[in-house]
Amino acid sequence: MNGPMSRPNNAAAIRGALLVIVAVVVGIYLLRGTDTPTLDTAPSASPTTAETSESEASAESDDAASSTETTLPGISVATTTPEAGSDTDDSDAGTMVGFEGRPNAEVSVQVANSTSVRGAAGRTTDILKTKGFITKSPINMKGTALDRTRVHYKPGNIIEAGNIAILLGLDDKNDVYKMPQDLSAFGDFEDPHILIALGIDKASAE
């Protein structure tokens, strides 16, 4: 009776061993299967990162270039002045081109004598005429005599006013002013580009 019972036991042992082997093989296959996507994913991620950084660097360089162009409009004052904002005085826009001003033959000047020295405005007018300026009729200025001569300019003529101030031996920074809004003191004002209010310093030197 022992002989027949041993055969089923042996068969069961063989089947159990086969099941263990199959389980091991399946486990190895599954482990390989899970490792394979991980190996494929890692190298594919690095090119994406590199491309992103390159595109960001390119965008930053483009932004830097555009900002440089914006900050280098200095040559064309008419373009850069509006960018400065509404608080900036742009009444002299365009006068800085070349830093030389227009030719004398394109600039009109009128001299007003604020002093009691006779003929001072006429003599200054003659000096300007010999330099090629468009000269208006010399006039007298009402009110108290000025101690120092002033050169007034209409908007767009600051360089020309500075050149005239230097020509007359004045300070082109401290003796140059914008055209006064109230011109009632200049009775025969002829709307020149430059108005010279002759003071005692230049009238007495004639």
CB-CB contact of 168 with 124 (8 Å): yes
The 10s digit of each residue's pLDDT in 99-158 is 688 999 999 999 999 999 999 999 999 999 999 999 999 999 999 999 999 999 999 999
Residue 96: name the closest of 162, 37, 158 by CA: 158
> ∠ CA 67-68-70 to the nearest 5 degrees?
65
- Terminal CA-CA length for the chain: 156
The full set of domain ranges for the chain reads 1-72, 97-203
Cα distances from 125 to residues 22, 60, 112, 194, in angstroms, run 118, 60, 9, 12
Burial of 74: CB neighbours in 10 Å, binned 0-12, 13-18, 19+: exposed
Tell if the pTM clears 0.75, that is, is over it.
no
| Top-tier CATH class for 97-203 | alpha beta
The 10s digit of each residue's pLDDT in 136-148 is 999 999 999 999 9
Average pLDDT, the chain: 75
Q: Specify the DSSP class assigned to residue 131.
A: T
Residue type, 93: A
